[in-house]
Structure 1
Amino acid sequence: MDIYASALSPALDIGTGCYLLLLTVLSIVGNLLVLVMAFKRSSRMKPPELLSVNLALTDLGAAVTMYPLAIASAWNHHWVGGDVACVYYGLAGFFFGVASIMNLTVLAIVRFVVSLNLQSPKEKIGWRKVKLLCVWTWLYALVWALFPILGWGRYGPEPFGLSCSLAWGQMKHEGFSFVISMFSFNLAMPAVIIVSCYFGIAIKLYVTYKKSMNHSNRIPNIVKLHRRLLVIAVLISMGFIGCWAPYSLVSMWSIFHDSSTIPPEVSLLPCMFAKSSTVYNPMIYYFFSQSFKSEVKQLPWLCLGANPCHVPNSVNDNSIYVVRADLKPKVATRPTLQEITELKTESL
């Protein structure tokens, strides 16, 4: 029996390949836009923004290094590359998946730390700390991805034959400790941390808003900004966890039951749904961040009309990445005699 032969119908193979091609295009274009926008405003970036850039890199990396191989296999009705390509694909998928979930976890923790004092003029998270956190997410993911290569766990083909991942059905005994550890440290624990951090931020924003009701409206504006950022962050986290949850459930079923009882068409759906996680983040940024949408529309290839595109530059319409805004109010000062003279001269 050829374990790399497609278990799907030829028509479904072609449809799967077209679906993956669409995901590849959307993911590459969307995440490249995020990176371009970050590069354009690099001189104004805050340290925590690097985590959002890092997240875009993980999604882009998955789309570029994995999806083309899966597309070719789907249209070939057979996995392309044999055992070596299968191990490579499974390692890449596990690597980028763990890097993404850990990046989301670190981002949630950073947002929570910053939200502890919204009025603090001092940056709580510096560039050095953020760079170390980004490097840590990649190294952490790499270590977990290498475990099956070193003998703890195993990579293998998916039941439908057009993709490779962790060989869930083969790890019922020899790799059971790996499966439990993997789900505990790379799904359950990050999910708990993310939910706890964003719940804590929501409570903090609510308390800050209540305390500011009888004071200046300067703080409520900041609360609105952080509330919008909170919504974006929660949607991103929910999107990733939601995309991978069905696949995780099917994988766990394969561990405790006979995986052959799951039809190939049924096992295909959670896998394809999980791959769509690389597409959602840029869409969330575009639809829920006014500044990101404006900056995208400012790009030369989108501004070919007579009227030039304009990007608002205000504190209340900050970028998708910002987790702290400058809270120092501008102090009104009297114009000097020289300034008055210059104004009068200009008016003449």
Structure 2
Amino acid sequence: MTHSENDSVTQPGNMPPHLHEDPFISKLPWEADVVAAIYLIIIGFISTFGNGYVIYKSIKQKNKLKPGELMTVNLAIFDFGMAAGGKPFLIVSCFAHRWVFGWIGCHWHGWSGFFFGCGSLITITFISLDRYLKICHLQYGFRVQRRHAFMCLSFAWLYAAFWATIPLSGWGKYVPEPFGTSCTLNWWLAQASVNGQVFILSILFFCLVLPTAIIVFSYVKIIGKVKLSGKEVAHFDTRIQEHNLLEIKLTKGHIRDQRCQSLRSD
């Protein structure tokens, strides 16, 4: 897509301060962009290969996967999508020292980054809840079946798609980031209007604060349960040791009494 074709696409209003000039030119030194591109190539290759391998292995035994394993595979899919769907655009733009895919590419890059990132966080949230139930509430944890896992994962995809698509429908926008080689949500809308503030606060709460709070709650409870179980095991071991010592003392006393009786009889 040429620069003239990029300009033909309607540009969003309420532009942040760094977009008053050319929004697609990099604000970083060319050397910094090259270093960033090389770093992203390495990280992207590792992420794509690692998550791709997990997905491949899970496909071969898909009917044997347990609910927790299904959630882990779903996390790998989101991370794979993040690496394969967004990083190539960023790498090419870093080498070009500017965003070269225009506003349409900017909207796709912003959407895909938000979609896969949000989906990954929601999946981690369900993984933490699954572990919380299985460790802290065994009577409920072992009732989680594959169908429950599929329901949770379907919700994660729909949830991420909903919040990622809202900016494309007019409430919020995707714009180039300050350094000019990638795109993200227009966080500066919070300074533009009350409607923008509501949008940003909604995104932060439903896509960051709420999932993070659930994750923290789950693992705090798990840690508390593990510590309590450790104390109970230690107390149980102490009682066993005390019981064994008592038996040893009673046995020794019984043997001593028998010896005394035998000496008296002699």
Q: TM-score, normalised by structure 1?
A: 0.58
Aligned to 2:229: 208
For the 8 Å contact 1:155–1:165, the answer to whether it is kept is yes
Q: How does 1:93-242 map to 2 (within 5 A)?
A: 93-118=113-138, 123-174=142-193, 175-213=196-234
Q: Distance in 1 between matches of 2:140 and 2:94?
A: 54
More helix, by proportion: 2
* Paired residues of 2:189 and 2:197 also in contact (CA < 8 A): no
RMSD of the alignment, in Å? 2.0
Q: What are the Cα deviations for residues 108-147 of structure 1, in whole angstroms up to 9, with x where unaligned?
A: 11111111345x6983211111001001001000000111
Compare CA radii of gyration and give the structure with the larger one. 2
Distance in structure 1 (CA, Å) of the matches to 2:140 and 2:202: 41
- State the 1:215 CA deviation: 6.2
- Tell whether the 8 Å contact from 1:34 to 1:56 is kept in structure 2 after alignment: yes
Q: Does 1:63 align with 2:83?
A: yes
2:24 corresponds to 1:4? yes
Which structure 1 residue ranges, 5 or more long, are not aligned?
Answer: 217-348
One-letter amino acid matched to 2:89: L
| Correspondence for 2:17 | none
The percentage of aligned residue pairs carrying the same residue is 34
Deviation track 1:52-74 (CA, whole Å, cap 9, x = no partner) reads 11101000001001100110011
The ranges of structure 1 where at least 4 consecutive aligned residues each deviate by more than 6 angstroms after the TM superposition are none
Pair 1:8–1:201, CA change in 2 (3 A): same
Whole-angstrom CA distance in 1 between matches of 2:140 and 2:88: 46
> Does the C-alpha gap of structure 1 residues 159 and 117 become closer, same or farther in structure 2, counting only changes over 3 Å?
closer
Once residues 22 and 93 of structure 1 are traced to their aligned partners in structure 2, the CA distance between those partners, rounded to angstroms, is 18
- Matched residues in 1 for 2:63 and 2:149: separation? 16
Counterpart CA distance in 2 for 1:6 and 1:171 is: 24
Contact 1:153–1:171 at 8 Å: present in 2 too?
no
Query: Which sections of structure 2, spanning at least 5 residues, go unmatched?
Result: 1-20, 238-266
Q: Given residue 87 of structure 1, which amino acid in structure 2 is its aligned partner? A: H
For 2:200, give the aligned amino acid: V
**Aligned mates of 2:186, 2:208 — CA distance in 1:** 18
1:113/1:121 CA distance change after superposition, 3 Å: closer
Contact 1:113–1:124 (CA<8 Å) still a contact in 2? no
The alpha-carbon deviation at position 170 of structure 1 amounts to 3.9
Aligned length: 215
